[in-house]
Amino acid sequence: MKLVLTEEQEFLRDTAKDFAQERTPVTHFRALRDNKDKNLWDRDIWQEMVNLGWSGILVPEEFGGSNFGVAGISVILQECGKTLTPSPLFSTGVLGAYAISNFGTQEQKEKYLPKIVSGEITTALAVDESSHHDPLKTSFEAKKNNEEYLLNGKKTFVIDGASADILIVLARTSGNTGELAGLTLFIVDANADGLNIIKLDMADSRNYANIEFNDVKCFNQEILGTIETGGETVERILDIGRIAMSAEMLGNAESAFETTIEYLKQRKQFGVLIGTFQALQHRAAEMFCEIELTKSAVMAAVQGADENSNELQRLSSLAKTIAGETLHLVSNEAIQMHGGIGVTDEYDLGFFIKRSRVAEQIFGSSTYHTERYANLSGF
């Protein structure tokens, strides 16, 4: 398959670009942060995104979605990433929609998917349990008690967990920490008894929560996928999430880079434009190359996801590693090349570096994914 966008994807990208530039420029995010907004995303804006069909991109047509695939949602996230658009699109439109569309029972699909598509509910995926992403280390317990399961433990860094209506939770039903077998995914109502949702205050001012479970009850019909094989299932969902997040991070990097190039063309010192300095030109050119490599890696991973490639895991780790490294580099260099103004809160670049470092941690850092890539490649 060719590494270029289809007409349909170009159309989605153009729509998303217009939306992000007009409806959610960075000032939109800044206002939410300054106002200490409860959700750190705006319900009306989210409803506008829903009305554009974005929450249903990964949902089959029979449940009201468009089934435009990971390629479709990724071009949207890339454009939204350029203006740091905060919304539950990643947690709901990517993770929730993909998980239930692909692994849900008919009953679960009928129950949740139309509500995801219409914007009635948002979802969150609860995997991590410590400061580092590592799904195999799950020790969060789901214990069978007659006809029900009792969920106990604490989940950390749940994206949009402070506002989600539905939680998809990775739990250990058997086996030991470190084993792939014995993991199971549960769908839990965020209003269930025994849940304690603790909102997190992170550097990027987005919506995250730690969630404590105290004897939260779940029934068999709330298991997502099959029991004990949730490890494989969640890896698949995570890989789609990693690829989509890489696309958003690519958008972050492109935007910070563009802002910097524009600055080099108008800022004068010593009586000349600073863009004439070779020390800055060469670093800018190097960043250009890294962004080009990132575009290719993300696009290949996106296509791999939609084609069910048997290289999907490797491509996902490739994309997340490269996107993380590139955004890391660009967000650092953008600030340095701007000089003093780059480290002021008034200027937007600070938002990009803060978002960069949080996004790097989401579903595995570049270090995590370099190791995973090495393992998958037999190095």
Give the interface with another protein as residue ranges (CB under 8 A).
Answer: 2-4, 261, 264-265, 273, 275-276, 278, 280-282, 284-286, 288-289, 292-297, 299-300, 318, 321-322, 370-371, 373-375, 377-379
Task: Give the closest residue to 39 by CA, choosing from 97, 86, 6.
Answer: 86
Query: Read out DSSP for 337-379?
Result: HHGGGGGSTTSTHHHHHHHHHHHHHTTS-HHHHHHHHHHHHT-
Nearer to another protein among residue 47 and residue 276 (C-beta):
276
150 vs 261, beta carbon nearer another protein: 261
CB 84 to another protein: min, Å = 23
Instruction: Decide whether 27 or 377 has the Cβ nearer to another protein.
Output: 377
Give one DSSP letter per residue of 188-257, joined into a string. EETT-TTEEEEEE--TT---EEEEEEEEEEEEGGGEES-TTBHHHHHHHHHHHHHHHHHHHHHHHHHHHH
Please state the closest distance from residue 296 (CB atom) to another protein, in A.
Answer: 4
Shortest distance, CB of residue 128 to another protein, whole angstroms? 23
- Look up residue 276 and give its DSSP letter: G
Nearest distance in Å: CB 299, another protein: 7
- Closest contact distance (angstroms) between CB of 94 and another protein is 22
What is the token pair recorded at 235? 């890896």
Q: Which is nearer to another protein, 156 or 317 (CB)?
A: 317
Toward another protein, which CB reaches closer, 52 or 280?
280
**Could you tell me the smallest distance in angstroms from the CB atom of residue 308 to another protein?**
18
Q: How far is the CB of 255 from another protein (least distance, A)?
A: 15
91: three-class secondary structure by DSSP: helix
Give me the least distance between CB of 95 and another protein, in Å please.
25
* Pick 37 or 371: Cβ nearer another protein: 371
Q: How far apart are CA 31 and CA 27, in angstroms?
A: 6
Nearer to another protein, 181 or 280 (CB): 280
Q: What share of the chain is helix, strand, coil (3-state, %, to 5)?
A: 55, 15, 30
DSSP at 98 = H
Q: Which among 295, 326, 300 has a CA at the least distance from the CA of 312?
A: 300
Q: How far is the CB of 311 from another protein (least distance, A)?
A: 10
Q: Residue 126: beta bridge partners?
A: 169
Which is closer to another protein, CB of 41 or CB of 373? 373
305-335 CB burial, b ≥16 within 10 A, e <16: bbeebeebbbbbbbbbbbbbbbbbbbbebbb
Give, in order, the Cα–Cα distances in Å from 370 to each of 34, 178, 325, 329.
Answer: 36, 19, 11, 17
Cβ proximity to another protein: between 214 and 276 the closer is: 276
The Cα 210–Cα 184 span in angstroms is: 20
